[in-house]
Each structure stands twice: as C-alpha cells, then as structure tokens.
Amino acid sequence: MNKSELVDSIAEQADISKADAGRALDGMIAAVTKALKKGDTVSLVGFGTFSVKKRAARTGRNPATGETIKIKASKTPSFKAGKGFKDAIK
C-alpha cells in the first residue's frame, strides 16, 4: 500500500474527503516527525511507539576496497509495534 492508497482507505473508513484524509495523514506524519526531532517518543496505545534510537560510532569496512572506515554516531527513527497491533495481524 502506498500513500495514495492509504489516503483512499482513510477517507473511506472515516467518511471524509480524500483531500481531508490527505491533510490529516500529512499532519500526523509532521507531528510525529516534530516530536521525534525534539527527542520525545510518540505512543499510540494498541498500535505502537515511535522513538529515536542512538547508534554509537563504530568502525566498518568499505565492501568495494576492504578498507576500514569510521562510521559516525547517528540517531535513527524506530517503531515498536504494540500488542493490539501484533495480535491484529496474526
């Protein structure tokens, strides 16, 4: 399912226009992104939790040359599915 199919599904299930569903989805994505940028977590009970995980600096290897390289520390978004969501897709 891509974004336009998701918007269509939201519009149908919520009985709203596709334009409204698109704005709602964009607003949700923006709100989650903003919260994660601030370092907060976003918990949706029954669905899951969005958070930011820190990855430590480490050494790696360039696969083309075999040369050892340093990989900088970084932050990466993470999602952990909630019990209700896991149970719904079994």
Q: Where are the beta strands (DSSP E) in 1-90?
A: 42-44, 48-55, 58-61, 68-71, 74-81
Task: Show me where the domains of the chain are located.
Answer: 3-88
Q: Which amino acid, 9?
A: S
Residue 90 has pLDDT above 90, yes or no: no
Predicted confidence (pLDDT) per residue in 5-35, tens digit: 999 999 999 999 999 999 999 999 999 999 9
Distance between CA atoms of residues 58 and 37, nearest Å: 23
Predicted confidence (pLDDT) per residue in 44-83, tens digit: 999 999 999 999 999 999 999 999 999 999 999 999 999 9
Distance between CA atoms of residues 30 and 42, nearest Å: 12
- Interhelix angle 3-14/18-37, nearest 10 degrees: 110
Fold of 3-88: HU Protein; Chain A (4.10.520)
Q: Is the entire prediction scored with pTM above 0.85?
A: no
